[in-house]
Each structure stands twice: as structure tokens, then as C-alpha cells.
Amino acid sequence: MRRQGSLLPLFILLSGLGIWEAAVQIYQVPHYILPAPSAIAVTLVQKRGSLGHHTLVTLQEMLLGFGLATTVGITLAVLMFEIPVLERAVYPYVIGSQTVPVFAIAPLLVLWLGYGIMSKVLMAATIVFFPIVLNTLDGLKAADADTVSLLRVMRASRWQVLWKVQFPSALPFILSGAKIGISISTIGAVIGEWVGAKAGLGRLMLDANSQLQVSLVFAAIICLTVMGLGLFGLMTLIERWLTPWRHLNHHNV
Amino acid sequence: MRLQIQDLTKSFRRGASALDVLAGIHLEAAPGEFVSVLGPSGCGKSTLFNLIVGLQQPDAGRIQVDGLSIDGNTRAFAYMQQKDLLLPWRTVLGNVLLGPEIEKRPRAESRDEAIQLLDQLGLKGFERSYPAQLSGGMRQRAALVRTLLLKKDILLLDEPFGALDAMTRAVMQSILIDIWQQWRQTILLITHDVDEALLFSDRIYVLTARPATVKEEVAVPLPRPRSITDMALIQLKSQLLETLQTEMLHGFE
């Protein structure tokens, strides 16, 4: 059953590609409108050096942005949790930060931080920040009240309650926020690159598009997708490693 | 240690009206005495414990340990509830070491004590298991080890075996009585199980329906181990049940 389950998506992919290939060949679609999958594959191989270089740039932006957002996001959420006044003061702005479209601030960040990597890192961070803060805060609040009381009776300090109960119970929430965050960090990085960058997959796509090298655009999209899937997979592994108690074989005694 | 409670009163505000929960409770437990508090459900037994351990503040009355008022100072008590409150991300050993860890006692020493107690309570070989891998009875035994490792002179047990099936409860009760005969803590047991109270207690306080006061104080001057088929015990039981039933009916009015 499990084998069938993993083969099914592959089957859909292959039949989709087959139909696509056939359609392009039969209707003689020009390559600058829609290249055939085989042409994209050829581009992937031919331009692997350039694609690899730009992929690494984008990956770096995403990872740095993600790291920045999780560090700042978790810290802010813990502070908001511990200091209710701070939560009341800051919460509307955290929500507000999500309602401002990244597209709108991208030109500003490029204006302020230039064409280098920093503006893209900040773009990615802005997008990742929101699910991290919100999930961390929700997770901290979801800690079992009776367990917290038990620790109070044991005369645990506030810091001990946070570290031994509230933070561990928030961890699954934080990690699912991180899974969302890492997947959407591409959006920030690529949009940043569109607005202005020296390198990166977004920049490559923009150049290829203007030169009607549509197969290269597709090749870049494939690189983005594979990278996103890889990072999501990596986060899932990290999640399993950090929260082993959630993945037990329930051998009830 | 001697626990004395005088004229303890507590009500909760519910909008404009007030809900009187405790209306002047008097009770006392001598050093090493096993005392039970028996009352109809919803009579405020758990509120009584929350006041003793300082999670809530009384409106009036005094709680004294060895003649000294405690005012929310919970240093003398270990508290155990019906819910085991084990931390799912810690192994059994990690869970029972929570108290020593909070008090920053030397780890190696506490560890040896923990392993010995786990062995004594039949949890040998489960030190590295997670709570989710244990049965309800085993979890509650782990919770008892955690409570004992706090090494307090007064144990407050709030229906600790209420959620267990009859067989497991009987095993847990005999474990508890063994431990008590070995360590001789002062025990205050909240229960609605008349048999449980009669089998173990030196004295039993019967509470009235809400707002709770002490309706009756019953001494159980019988030698241990006791049996529920003992004539003297059966007599006490019918007396207690009668009192309780009257109070239950009051509670429904």
C-alpha cells in the first residue's frame, strides 16, 4: 500500500509531462511560448553551471532570512508572552506587518540596502517572521495550566516554568511555523531579486524572460521547487529529531 | 509536620453574584498522620488544596504548618492530582527528577534515589520510556515517584487514583500505604471513595455540600492492614455513606 502511495504522484507527474510533450510536438507550439519538457531538460543540463550558481545565491538568501526571522521571531514571542504589556503594544503591529504586501516594500528595501544580498535576506525574513511569531506565541499559551501550577507548587522560578514546560510544549507549534516559513521564504527571496539583484534565480528568470529563453525560466522554476521541497524535507527531519516524543511507536503496556 | 487549618473561607465572584465554596473549614493533621477529606463531588475539595498550596488566596482563615502561618509558602508540601501531569517530552526518569532539578539538588544523588524508587514501584526497565508508552497505572506510579522525590513532610493527594480502574487502584493504594509506613509523611488525601478513606485513614473529615464546612470528623481506630469485609469497618462505612448521601441531596437542591 505504501509503495502504491508513493508511486501515484510520480505517475501523475509522468503522464502530465507526456501530455505536455505530445501537445507541444503535435501543435508545433513555438519554444518562446511554451517549450517542451524535453527542451527544458536539455536546458537544465546545458546551463547547470549557471543554474547552480544562482540557486546557491537564492538558497543563501532564504536560509539567512529564515535564520534571522526565527531568531528574532521566537525571541519576540517569548518576550510578548512574558510581558503582557509588550504583547498588547506590539501585537497589532505583528498582524499589520503581514497585511503589507511584500511587493510593496521590496523596492524600498532595495533602495535602502542595495542590490546585494541583504535586501533579499530581509525580504525572506519579513515573510517567515509572521508564522514564527504567531505559532510560538500560541504554543506558549497552549501549555497545560495544571502542569504550570504543579511547577509553581514545586516553587519553580518563572524562567524554570518557561524553560521546562512552556517552551517544550510550544516546540511542535514553532516547528510547524518553521515548516510553513521555510516553504514561503522563496517568495521573499525571489521577489527581492525581481526588484533588483546581481544574482539569484529570480534575477535569472527575469533575464531569461526578457530574452524569450522560456525553457530557462522553467528550468529556474524547477530549481526553486526542488530547493523548496528539499528544505521542507529537511525541516521535517529536524522536527522528528527535536520532538522524538511525538513520533513514538505506541507499544502500550 | 503538623498541618492546621482554621476557619478557611473562600468564594469566587461570578459577575455580580458570589459563589461561596468554603465556609469556615477547620481541620488538622498531626505529624505522620493519614487524614482523608471525604465530600460530595463539587463541594470544593480541590479549592481547599489550591488554598493550602498557595495557588489561590483564601478570603479568610489561617493555614499553619508546625504553628507557623504559611501565606502561600508551599515549601512544605508535595502535591499530586488525579491527572499524572507527566511532561510528554521527558522520559520517566526525566519526569521524576523534575523536583530535584528545580531545587538544584546534586543530580547524581537524586538519580540514584530515583532509580531505586522506580524499581520499588515496579517501573524498572521503563526509565527511558516516554509517558505515552506507559499504561495509566504506570504513569500514575511515575507521578507518585515524582511526588515522593520532592521529599516533603506533607503529601497532599487530590483523588490521586480516581482515574484508574479498580484493580490498578487497589495496587496503587497498597503501594501508597507501604510508602507511608516506610516514610511516615503527614498525608492529606482528598477522595470521594469511602472504602479508600476507611482502609487507610487515621481520621476522616466529611465535608458538607457547597459551601463546604466540616460536617463530621470520624476516627478510624482500627489496626492495619484493614479489610473492607471487617465488621467494624462496615459499620463505619454505613455511617459515613448515610452522612454523605444526605449531603449529596443537599447539593442537588
- Kindly report, residue by residue over A83-104, the tens digit of the pLDDT: 999 999 999 998 888 888 888 8
> How many residues are present in chain B?
253
Q: Where are the alpha helices (DSSP H) in chain A?
A: 2-27, 37-46, 48-82, 84-99, 102-113, 117-141, 145-153, 158-161, 167-195, 201-210, 214-242
Where in the sequence is the domain holding B66, given as residue range(s)? 1-76+156-165+191-229+247-253
Q: Is B99 on the interface with A (CB under 8 A)?
A: yes
Q: What is the pLDDT of residues B191-230, one digit of tens each?
A: 888 999 999 899 999 998 888 888 889 999 988 888 888 8
- In chain A, which residues touch B (CB < 8 A)? 144, 146-147, 149-156, 160, 164-165, 168-169, 171, 243-246, 248, 250-253
Distance CA A165, CA A228 (A): 32
Three-state secondary-structure class, residue B184: coil
Q: What is the ipTM of this complex?
A: 0.87
Q: What is the pLDDT of residues A104-143, one digit of tens each?
A: 888 999 899 988 899 999 999 999 999 999 999 999 999 9
**CATH code of the region A51-244:** 1.10.3720.10
* Total domains present in chain B: 1
Residue B37 in domain: yes
Would B210 be classed as within a structural domain? yes
Q: How far apart are CA B173 and CA A138, in angstroms?
A: 39
* Residue A150 to residue B81, Cβ atoms within 8 A: yes
Whether residue B236 lies inside any domain: the answer is no
In a domain? residue B251: yes
How close is the nearest chain A Cα to the Cα of B235, in Å? 38
- Candidates A224, A219, A238; CA nearest to A175 is A238
CATH number at residue B195: 3.40.50.300
In a domain, B52, yes or no: yes
Give the pLDDT confidence of A155-183 residue by residue, as tens digits: 899 999 999 999 999 999 999 999 999 99
The owner of cell 525580504 is A123
Q: Kindly state whether residue B47 falls inside one of the protein's structural domains.
A: yes
pTM score > 0.90 for this model?
Answer: no
Question: Would you call B75 an interface residue with chain A, using a CB distance cutoff of 8 Å?
Answer: yes
